[in-house]
Amino acid sequence: MKAAIYCRVSTEDQEKEGTSLDSQLEACLRKAKELGYDVPQELIFKETYSGLSLDRPQLTTLRSKARNREIAAIIVYTPDRLCRVGEDILTLAKEFKLYGVRLAFVKEQEGELLLRGVAGVEKFSLVGSMEFGALSIPEPPLCRRLEPRRHFALSLRW
């Protein structure tokens, strides 16, 4: 089975100082081998681009490969290397699941959220979402916070 690898940094400075594209690639190749996938050279996608947008040349090509069912899995170093916005990660995860493509991460990040049944993603981090305020969790309505009997009584009112 073939897998694709996606590696991204935002700036050339990050490439030099942070997690380089090459170090991400090495870790992703190890993960692919561990999971039993082959990764041909043409399925390695590396780019220096902001993670705040889904409009990225290499990501667009990768999505096309998934849509055409040319790959069985996509391996990314961490969720924030795929996207920096929580909704975008969920959008991609659902899209890949629809095409029957597994999404796997080498490392999870602080604040991870289990989404096993939601989008086919084993683990997902809220770090990027919280950092940019993209994911807001509303407080439940007042009646849901009340004790159950009172909630039931309130639900009977017209």
Is residue 116 classed exposed, middle or buried when 0-12, 13-18 and 19+ CB atoms within 10 A define those classes?
exposed
pLDDT at residue number 150? 52
The backbone region for 100, taken as left when phi is positive above 0, alpha when psi lies in -120 to 50, beta otherwise, is left
User: What integer pLDDT is reported at residue 67 of this predicted model?
Assistant: 97
List the domain boundaries for the chain.
3-156
Helix axes 57-67, 86-98, angle to 10 degrees: 30
pLDDT at 108 (0 to 100): 72
Model pLDDT for residues 27-40, shown as the tens digit of each residue: 999 999 999 999 99
Domain spanning 3-156, CATH architecture: 3-Layer(aba) Sandwich (3.40)
How does pLDDT run across 40-73, given as a tens digit for each residue? 999 999 999 999 999 999 999 999 999 999 999 9
Q: Which residues are catalytic?
A: 10
